[in-house]
Amino acid sequence: MTSADQVPFDDRGLAYGDGVFETVLLRDGKPVLWPYHRARLRHGCSVLGIEPPDDTALNACWQAPESALDVLKIILTRGSGGRGYALPENPAPRLLSRRTPFAPAALRWQGVDVCLCALRLARQPALAGIKHLNRLENVLARREWQSEDIAEGLLADTEGNLVEATAMNIFWRAHGAFHTPSLEACGVAGTLRAALLARGDVCVSPLSVDALLSDASVEQLFVGNSIHGLWPVNTLTTPAGEPLRRFSSPPDLSLQTAAHRLLGYLPLSGPLLSGEKRS
C-alpha cells in the first residue's frame, strides 16, 4: 500500500476512476458508523479486484488532533501502471485521506426543497451500491440547478425508478411505514441507509417518478446521508425551481430522530452542532 500527497499522472484513479472512496463523519476524533463504511469500502475493493487496506492503515487516517466534528475523506485507487485499461502486473494501491472541520446545516433539518433532475442513471448491476471514483453522472446532474434554494437533486434510472439524490439516499413515508429504493441496478448504498435498514426503521420498496409526482400515499419525502443527517423535503421542483409537488407538513420526524441518534445529532428541539457536547 502506497500513499502520496500529490497523485501522480499515471494513477489509475485519476485516469479511469479506478478506485473507491469513503466520506466519514468524525465525532471527537472517532469515526461514526465506521463498521458500515469499512464494510462498503471492502465490498467495493472486492468488486473492483483491489487489495483493501488493512485496519492499521485505515486507522491511521484519523490519527490527528481531535476536534468536535470533522469530515474524513478516504480515497483508495488501484495505484499506477498498466497499459491502457489492462491492469498492472503488480498493483500497489494508493491510499489518500484528508480531514476537514465540519458543522451541519442544521436549518435544513427543518425542511428543504429538492429538484427532480432530467439526467437518468444507467443501470449497471456490477457496480451498483459501491462508492467508486467515477461519479460523472452525479456531476452532470448537479449542473442542472444553480439556485441556493434547492438543496438536492433526485435521480431516477433509465426505466423511471427513483434511485437516489446526487449525494444522498432517498426515503419516503407511505402506508404508515418508511421506505427507500432498491439499489440493485445502480446507485450508492449509503452507510446511514444501511444502518437504518439494519435497525428495521426502513424497508426497500420501488417508487417510480410517476408515483412520486402523483401518488397521495407517498406522504413524506426525505434525503439524507451519514454526514448531514436527514432533511425532510417540503417541495419537489424542477431544476428551474418550478413546483412539482408539495409534501405534508409538519412531517413525521421519527425516522429523522432515529437517523440523528445514530450520527450523534440531537432532535430538532436541541440540535448538536460542532463544539457542543452530548449529555
Catalytic residue set: 23, 131, 164
Q: Count Cβ atoms below 10 Å from residue 239 Cβ, excluding itself.
A: 18
Report how far apart, in Å, the C-alpha atoms of 152 and of each of 25, 164, 241, 253, 264 are.
20, 10, 12, 19, 23
Tell me how far apart the 2 most distant CA atoms of the chain are, in Å. Answer: 58
C-alpha cell at 175: 402506508
Q: How far apart are CA 183 and CA 186, in angstroms?
A: 5
C-alpha cell at 166: 446526487
Q: How far apart are CA 11 and CA 80, in angstroms?
A: 4
Q: What is the DSSP code string of 160-200?
A: SBEEEESSSEEEEEETTEEEE---SSSSB--HHHHHHHHHT
Q: Count Cβ atoms below 10 Å from residue 258 Cβ, excluding itself.
A: 17
Q: How far apart are CA 21 and CA 38, in angstroms?
A: 10
Q: How far apart are CA 25 and CA 204, in angstroms?
A: 25
Q: Which of 102, 121, 117, 70 lies closest to 223, judged by CA?
A: 117
Q: How far apart are CA 62 and CA 29, in angstroms?
A: 7
Q: How far apart are CA 196 and CA 206, in angstroms?
A: 17
